């Protein structure tokens, strides 16, 4: 299974949305941008 189209984009001032697509399904997570730890993106996708 390939995870692709991984993006992390700001929504407004305070939120960031992480998007990833795998096996045709789209995962979206919105969280406070001030807390976003970009380095853990791969970890979150594995889990």
Partner 1 sequence: MRAGSTLRLPHDVPVSSRLVAALPAIQRIYCNWNVRLHPVALDATTYEPEGEGTGIALFYAGGVDSSYSLIAHEGELDALVTVLGFDMHMDEEEMAASRARNTAFARSLGKEILFVESNHRGFVRDLGVSRTIVYGAMLASMALLMGFRRCYIASSHSVGYLRPEGSHPTLDPLFSNGTTSIVHDDVTVSRLDKTRTIATRPDVLANLRVCWDRPNDNCGTCQKCLRTMAALRLCGVAGPFPPLDDLGVVRRMASHTELDYVVEMALAAHRQGDVELYRRLRQGLRRQDFGEALRHLAYALTGRKIRRPSRSRNALELELVKYDLRPDLDLR
Site residues (vs partner 1, CB under 8 A)? 1-4, 6, 18, 22-32, 35-37, 39-47
Closest CA to 19 of 4, 1, 38, 37: 4
Which residue, 13 or 32, has its beta carbon nearer to partner 1?
Answer: 32
Closest CA to 28 of 17, 15, 43: 17
Least Å distance between CB 32 and partner 1? 5
Which residue, 13 or 26, has its beta carbon nearer to partner 1?
Answer: 26
Least Å distance between CB 16 and partner 1? 9
4: Cβ contacts below 8 Å, ≥ 6 apart: 20, 21, 22
């Amino acid at each position: 299974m390939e995870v692709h189209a991984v993006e992390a984009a700001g929504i407004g001032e305070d939120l960031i949305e992480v998007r990833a697509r795998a096996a045709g399904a789209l995962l979206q997570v919105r969280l406070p941008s001030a807390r976003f730890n970009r380095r853990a993106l791969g970890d979150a996708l594995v889990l």
